[in-house]
Amino acid sequence: MDVLIIGAGQAAAQLAASLRQDGFAGSICIVGDERYLPYQRPPLSKKFLHERGTPESLLLRPASFWRDHEVSLVLGVAAAKVDLRQQRVGLQDGRELEYGTLVFATGTRARTLPLPGSDLANVFFLRKIEDVRQLRPALDAAGRIGIVGGGYIGLEVAAVMRGEGRAVTALEAQARVMARVTGEQVSAFFAHMHRQRGVDIRLGVQLAAIEKETNGLLLRASNGEDISVDVILGATGARANDELARSAGLACDDGILVDEFAAASAPGVYAVGDCARFPSRRYGRRLRLECVQNAIDQAKAAAAAIRGEREVYDPVPWFWSYQYELKFQIAGIIDGHDAAELIGDPATAQFSVDYRRGGRLIAVDAVNNARAYMMGRRRIAQETAVPS
Ligand SMILES: Cc1cc2nc3c(=O)[nH]c(=O)nc-3n(C[C@H](O)[C@H](O)[C@H](O)COP(=O)(O)OP(=O)(O)OC[C@H]3O[C@@H](n4cnc5c(N)ncnc54)[C@H](O)[C@@H]3O)c2cc1C
C-alpha cells in the first residue's frame, strides 16, 4: 500500500477523500476495527439515538464512493502491531500489510468508570454505533436513567431522554456542567435549562460505586447519596487511542505527538484527528482536540503533506452541541481566558459570551446565535493570528 490508514472514522475518511480529490494516484487502504463504513459520530448522542436511525444514515460516503475512488477498506479487524523499520502493520487476524506512508487515525475511546460495579449489566458507554445498538433497547425498557458526567455527550443524552419522558439524574463531579469546554455563565445556563426540564443535576458529586438492586441499579455517591436507576450511562470523557503508536516507538503524550503538518516522530508516519496532539502557535501550546472540525482539517493538512505540499495546521477550532431546542456553538478555546463578556440575555435563550486573554479574543460561545458564532470565528482568527 502506498498509504495505509489505521482507523476508519471521520479523519481517515477525509484523508482518503482529500488525497483522491487532489489527484493522488497511489494505492490507499483503510483498516478499521468497527464493521461499518466510515461514519459520523455526532448524531449518536442526538438524532440517531432519538430517531433510532439506521447505520446507513450515518455513513460519511456511500459504499460506491470508496469503490469509485479505489480506496480499499479492511473492516472489522484491528491493527495490532506496527513495525516502523520493516514498514509493516500486523492485523488482529494475522494478516500483514506493507506500507509506504502510514497514518494513525485511531480516534479516542470512552473512559470507563474505574469503580466497583461498572461492569454490571445495564451500565453503558457511548462512542460507537454498536454502543447505541446495545444502549437503545435498554433505554426503551427504562424509566429512570442515571448519567455519570455532565459533559456535552451526557447532557445531549439527558435531553433526548427527557424528550421521551424518562426520569434523568445526572452526576457531575465538578462544580458545573461542561466545565472542560465552556465558561461559568454558559454552564449555569445549561444546568438551569436542564433542571427546568426536569433533569435532576447534582453538581460536585462523585460516584463511588454502582450496586445491583432488586429492581435496577444503585448509584452510590461519595457524599452518601444513593440514587436508584434502571440504566446508567458513563459519560466522563474519552482517552486517545495511542497505545499502538506508542508500542511502535512513536512519541506520545496523551495522544500521538505530531508537528504542524501532522507528521509523527518517525519519517513517513502521520497522525490525524482525535488521537493526535499538535503544536498550536495560535494558542501557544500543544492541543489534542476531539471535534469534527479537527478531524477534517487536520486530515486535509496531512493529505497535503503526503503529496509534498506544506500547509501549516493551526486552526481556530469549532464545535457544536444540540440540547433540546438549544443550538450551542463554540469557536476557539477558552482555556486561560482572563475576561468573559456576556452579550445578550440568557433568559431569552439567545446570547453569546466573548472570552479574552490579554485583551485578545480567544473564544466565543454562542447559544441560538449563529451570527455571533460566525463573526466570532472570524474575529478570533484575526486576533490570535501569529505572524509567520
Ligand atoms: C456521541 C458523540 C457525539 C459527538 N458529538 C460531536 C459534535 O456534536 N460535534 C463535534 O464536532 N464532534 C462531536 N463528537 C466528536 C467527533 O465525533 C470526533 O471528534 C471525530 O469522530 C473524530 O474523528 P477521528 O477519525 O479522529 O476518530 P473516530 O471517528 O473515533 O475514528 C477512529 C476509528 O479508529 C478505530 N480504531 C482505533 N484503533 C484501531 C486499530 N488499532 N485498528 C483499527 N481501527 C482502530 C476506532 O474504533 C474508530 O472507528 C462526538 C463524539 C461522540 C462519540
CA of 288 to the centre of ligand 1 (A): 13
Q: Where in the chain is the domain with CATH 3.50.50.60?
A: 3-109+239-306, 112-236
Three-state secondary structure call for residue 22: coil
The percent of residues in the chain predicted with pLDDT above 90, rounded, is 98
* Stretch 346-368: mean pLDDT: 97
Compute CA 352 distance to the chain's CA centroid, rounded to the nearest angstrom.
Answer: 23
CA-closest candidate to residue 239, choices 261, 254, 251, 227: 254
Is beta strand 71-75 parallel, antiparallel or unpaired with respect to 79-83? unpaired
Q: What percent of the chain has pLDDT over 70?
A: 100
Mean pLDDT of 279-301: 97
pLDDT in tens, 244-280: 999 999 999 999 999 999 999 999 999 999 999 999 9
CATH 3.50.50.60 fits 112-236, yes or no: yes
- Stretch 338-363: mean pLDDT: 97
- Among the ranges given (14-18, 24-28, 221-225, 365-369), the one the predictor scored with the smallest mean pLDDT: 221-225
At 258, list the grid cell.
505530531
Which residues of the chain are in CATH 3.30.390.30 domains? 325-383
Evaluate: CB of 101 within 6 angstroms of ligand 1.
no
What's the mean pLDDT in 309-337? Answer: 96
**How many angstroms separate the alpha carbon of residue 254 from the centre of ligand 1?**
16
Ramachandran quadrant class, 117 (left: phi over 0; alpha: psi -120 to 50; beta: rest): left
Any idea which fold 3-109+239-306 has? FAD/NAD(P)-binding domain (3.50.50)
- Going by alpha carbons, the residue nearest to atom 12 of ligand 1 is 291
Exposure class string for 362-381: b at 16+ Cβ within 10 A, else e: bbbbbbbbeebbeebbebbe
Say what angle helices 184-196 and 152-163 make with each other, to 10 degrees: 20
Model pLDDT, residue 388:
72
Q: What H or E segment, with its residue span, contains residue 247? A: helix 243-248
Radius of gyration of the chain (CA): 22
What residues have CB less than 8 Å from 231, skipping those under 6 apart? 122, 123, 124, 135, 138, 139, 142, 144, 145, 146, 217
Atom of ligand 1 at shortest range from CA of 272: 26
Q: Which of 370, 369, 371 is nearest to 349 (CA)?
A: 369
Check if 321 has its Cβ closer than 6 Å to any atom of ligand 1: yes
| Ligand 1 mutation pick, 292, 293, 316, 319, max ligand atoms within 8 A of CB | 292
| Ligand 1 pocket residue status of 37, Cβ below 6 Å | no
Which tens digit of pLDDT belongs to each residue from 215-251? 999 999 988 999 999 999 999 999 999 999 999 999 9
Q: Yes or no: is domain 325-383 CATH 1.20.1050.10?
A: no
